[in-house]
Chains A and B, each alone.
Chain A
Amino acid sequence: MNLDFSPEEIAFRDEVRAFIEQNYPAHLKGKAMREDLSRDEFLAWHKILGKKGWSAPAWPAQYGGTGWTATQRYIWLEENARAETIAPLPFSVSMVGPVIYTFGTEEQKQRFLPGILSGEVWWCQGYSEPGAGSDLASLKTKAVREGDYYIVNGQKTWTTLGQYADWGFFLVRTDSEAKPQEGISFLLIDMKSPGVSVRPIKLLDGGHEVNDVFLENVKVPVDQRIYEENKGWTCAKFLLAHERAGIAGVARSKRNVEKLKAIAKAEIGDDGGPLIESPDFRAKLAQLEIDLSALEMTELRTLAREQAGKGPGPESSLLKIRGTEIQQRLTELTLEAVGNYAQPFPRGLGDNEFSIGPDYAGPAAPIYFNWRKASIYGGSNEIQRNIIAKMVLGL
């Protein structure tokens, strides 16, 4: 047991670092935390990685993964965080992709996986409903079988970046008589189908990141159902476990700690010296770094288990809880660090964005408000604790 990189791993790190430096689009540097990017901006790096064959390192090699070891994947994430790249679309590569290669038919794999890998096709998630949030299995969107089609009616909500989506993966009810979890199917729906409409939801940070999706008599071919009818909950749970593991965001939090330190060096503290020299601020930063180390080691242990063939299980809830708590703590400390220049909010009322005070001050408050979502999405942190209590501790 050891934590050192082998010479091969160091060579690998140098290789990917050089690749990122040479290929990451210059105009997208420093934009990774922004929610207001265009579709092309979001996908630019994904497409470059698609061509290189690196857009989905976690996938099995036979489906287009890189075949890297857990350590190599860790290095890859670290290097991307270091360069602040915009990650390949998580709804595509971390969510629906693994469901398709795990539960899909050969034909479905061939039809959908290439577009996911290349970044040509944008996927969105149709899970939550106005009445089905934490209690996802109570969802009511209905799919009725008519010959070779399902006719789908209902409303989905919190669909992140659905305004850009070509396709969506939806949980729908195909049996209203069965127990809630046993009457759900997993459907892939072309967002251009007649009857699909997307309506923006404005969030506290003033941005348009999520949407309501309305489905009105949408005709969906039966061959766009993944896995068996009424067995969609199996896919849903599998996907959620993948989503949770991904949202720990360790590498990015590490990068954001560095950014916070840079802010604290530039800011004047209450006694006139640099904020970074203020003992209480230093203590807060230190605590955050310590928490992040604990999370990182835990994630590495999980990755190693995954490498040994044990996919992400209920333990991924731990990564989700601690990962999002740390992300939120970072946004709090950043807000505190920028002082009263956190107050200007030119984005709030639709004004053209312009910077007041130091450049790093502008995003502090919008990101602080926006990031409250992290302890809510992907199953709220309360639900994650329930999962650990039940599935891990057997309580």
Chain B
Amino acid sequence: MNFDYTEEQSMLRDSIAKWAAGQYDFEKRREALKSEDGWKKNWATFAELGLLAAPLPEDAGGLGGGPIDIAVVMEEFGKALVVEPYVSTVVIGAGALLAAGDDAQKAAHLEAIAGGERIIAFAQAEPKSRWALNDVSTTAKKDGAGYVLNGQKAVVLGATQADYLLVSARTAGGQRDEQGVSLFLVPKNAKGVSTRDYPTMDGARAAEVYLENVSVGAEALLGAADGALPLIERLVDEANAAYNHEAVGAMRMMTSSTQEYAKTRKQFGRAIAEFQVLQHRMVDMFMHTEESVSMALLATLKLGESDAERAKAVSASKVSIGRAGRFIGQAAVQIHGGMGVTDEMRIGHYFKRVTMLDSTFGNADYHLKRYTALSAKAA
């Protein structure tokens, strides 16, 4: 048993922290979010720092790291409130290519991802699917060697910045059938693809994606037709495992900033940190943070286990971390008083980000149900 980072992982962490402190402070972040292409400079830096290459294999231009390297990156992103589409590109996009792509597909995308020249968004959810991964109404109909796609994808995170969309579509079966789902890598500029872009609650960007008679060649299909659902399940588990570490980074910041604030804010002639009711609340924040660290690690360390083991660990972590994020976020705002609900202070933005993360790929309730179902299956 060993919970230590390697030297390389520690260096990776330090380099992100240094960049965030200098180039991504709260004001610079705000400016970047406001501007249309503020993210581009950040993305180029991610490439320079090796964050995009970190988890990719060396023969694909990567650095040969794995989930722990992603965990390191994500926790620092959580602390710095980075909202660029890292997970959809590196964890989901690259992950899908590595798992199911043929040599030509890998060659076409992986090096570009590592070099910062390819951004992928995961066009999975649909207006009526909520978080059910098997609920797919978007269709892909065979047309000669290729396919024609039709449908609407909902709240596609990072679609604004993406140049490729990883689309789940139904090639066979009914709306909620487990069989019959396929994955396609579709250029966003393909004819018939249109998007409606908007900001999300955390200041990131997302879009509704409309696919109208989008013709793609056979090279767009990733893996075998009809059988993509187990891969989608795995990719989403990996994405959630990564997001967990981001949530942990945000929780650490909320917990420590709240303590700092309580030590300096004076009311009734003393620091409010001296009031026992607030001390206990901050202790609870601390305990929730520590448990979240544990659960995030548990999920990440089990990503390589069987499908059932992995899924249970990830759902368990999403339950703990979703609830912890809510508690910590609300308590942090409460202890900051009126300042906590202002746009001007960082604290509320962490609260928004953990709220966003909870509602991404299944909230705590969804994962409690999934965990229960998985346990029942195993019993």
Residues of A within 8 A of B (CB): 128, 131-135, 138, 157-158, 201-204, 206, 210, 267-272, 280-281, 332, 335-336, 339-346, 348-349, 351, 354, 356-357, 365, 368-370, 372-373, 375-377, 380-382, 385
Contacts and interface: CB of A to CB of B under 8 A. Distances in A.
A270 B330 contact: no
A382 B338 contact: no
Interface of B: 33-34, 125, 127-132, 135, 154-155, 157, 176, 196, 198-203, 206, 208, 266-269, 272, 275, 277-278, 326, 330, 333-334, 337-338, 340-344, 348-349, 351-352, 355-356, 359-360, 363, 365-366, 368-369
B334 A380 contact: yes
B258 to A, nearest CB: 14
B91 to A, nearest CB: 18
Given A340-B130, A340-B131, A356 B366 contact: no
Contacts of B199: 344-346, 348-349, 351
Contact of B130 (A157, A268, A345, A382): A268
22 contacts: A131-B266, A134-B267, A135-B269, A201-B342, A203-B343, A204-B349, A270-B132, A270-B365, A272-B132, A335-B355, A336-B363, A343-B157, A343-B201, A345-B199, A348-B203, A349-B34, A354-B198, A356-B196, A357-B155, A369-B352, A370-B341, A372-B351
A375 to B, nearest CB: 6
Contact of B155 (A135, A343, A381): A343
Nearest to A358: B127
Counting chain B CB atoms within 10 Å of each CB, the highest count among A272, A332, A340, A342 belongs to A340
A373 B343 CA distance: 13
B337 A380 contact: yes
A351 to B, nearest CB: 7
Given A138-B269, A271-B369, A272-B135, 13 more contacts: A133-B338, A135-B267, A135-B269, A204-B352, A270-B130, A280-B369, A340-B125, A344-B198, A345-B200, A346-B198, A351-B198, A357-B154, A382-B278
B355 A368 contact: yes
Nearest to A347: B199
Given A268-B128, A349-B34, A349-B199, A339 B340 contact: no
Contacts of A206: 343
B198 A345 contact: yes
A342 B203 contact: no
Given A133-B267, A376-B337, A344 B155 contact: yes
The 9 closest A-B pairs by CB, nearest first: A135-B267, A202-B343, A345-B201, A204-B348, A365-B201, A339-B130, A343-B200, A135-B268, A348-B199
A270 B198 contact: no
The DSSP consensus for interface residues of chain A is mixed
A346 B127 CA distance: 17
Contact of B333 (A135, A340, A372): A372
A373 B339 CA distance: 10
A182 to B, nearest CB: 16
Contact of B131 (A203, A339, A373): A339
Nearest to A354: B198
A343 B203 CA distance: 10
A131 B272 CA distance: 12
Nearest to A365: B201
B229 to A, nearest CB: 15
Contacts of A380: 334, 337
A80 B277 CA distance: 38
A128 B337 CA distance: 11
Contact of A269 (B130, B202, B340): B130
B338 A342 contact: no
B34 A375 contact: no
Given A134-B267, A351-B199, A365-B201, A270 B366 contact: yes
A336 B365 contact: yes
A349 B349 CA distance: 13
A339 B343 contact: no
A269 B267 CA distance: 46
A382 B198 CA distance: 38
B34 A267 contact: no
Contacts of A271: 369
Nearest to A134: B267
A204 B280 CA distance: 26
Contacts of A281: 365
A339 B359 contact: yes
B215 to A, nearest CB: 27
Contact of B342 (A204, A336, A382): A204
A351 B269 CA distance: 43
Contacts of A375: 334
Contacts of A272: 132, 135, 176
A381 to B, nearest CB: 8
A113 to B, nearest CB: 30
B359 A133 contact: no
A343 B334 contact: no
A317 to B, nearest CB: 15
A134 B337 contact: yes
Nearest to A345: B201
B206 A343 contact: yes
B341 A133 contact: no
A369 B349 CA distance: 10
Contact of B341 (A134, A336, A351, A376): A376
B341 A373 contact: yes
A341 to B, nearest CB: 7
Given A204-B342, A356-B208, A376-B337, A343 B359 contact: yes
Contacts of B343: 202-204, 206
Contacts of A357: 127, 154-155
B137 to A, nearest CB: 12
Contact of A202 (B33, B132, B278, B342): B342
Nearest to B127: A357
Contacts of A280: 365, 368-369
A375 B206 CA distance: 31
